Amino acid sequence: MSIEKKPFKQKALNETALALSFIFAGLVLLPLAIYFTGQSVFGEYGGAGFSDFYGRLSSEIRDGRPAVWFLVLTPYLILMLLRLTIWAFRRSSHAR
C-alpha cells in the first residue's frame, strides 16, 4: 500500500479550504441550529426573530467575546481533535 505524497502547496490549499468551510459552518449553520433548537425547546426568542439573534451573535463576535468565538470555531476544533485522536491511535499501534 503506497501513500502518495502531496506537495506542500496542495496540502496548504486543502487545509485552507477545509478550515474555511468549517468556519462557514460555524458562522452560518451552527447559529441556525442553535436558534431553531432553542425555539423548539424553550419557546419564542425574546428578540425580533432569527435576524435579531444573528445580529446579536455577530456583534459579540466583533466585540471579541471568547465564548462566542469558541462557539463559532467548534466545528473546526472538533475536526482537529478527531484528526489528533486518529493520529495518536495510529502512532500508538505502530509503537508496539
For 26-47, the pLDDT digits (tens) are 999 999 999 999 999 988 877 7
Q: What is the pTM of this model?
A: 0.76
* Cβ contact 72:23 at 8 Å: yes
Runs of H (alpha helix) within 1-96: 8-24, 30-42, 50-63, 66-94
Q: With 60 as the cut, is the pLDDT of residue 79 above it?
A: yes
Q: Is residue 75 part of a domain?
A: yes
- Residue 33 phi/psi, 5-degree rounding, is -65, -40
Q: Is residue 1 part of a domain?
A: no
Q: Is residue 68 part of a domain?
A: yes
Q: Is residue 2 part of a domain?
A: no
**Mean pLDDT, to the nearest integer, of 56-82?**
95
Q: With 90 as the cut, is the pLDDT of residue 94 above it?
A: no
Which of 30-39, 74-83, 86-95 is least confident? 86-95
For 17-31, the pLDDT digits (tens) are 999 999 999 999 999
For 45-56, the pLDDT digits (tens) are 777 888 999 999
Q: Is residue 4 part of a domain?
A: no
Domain with 57, as residue range(s), is 9-94
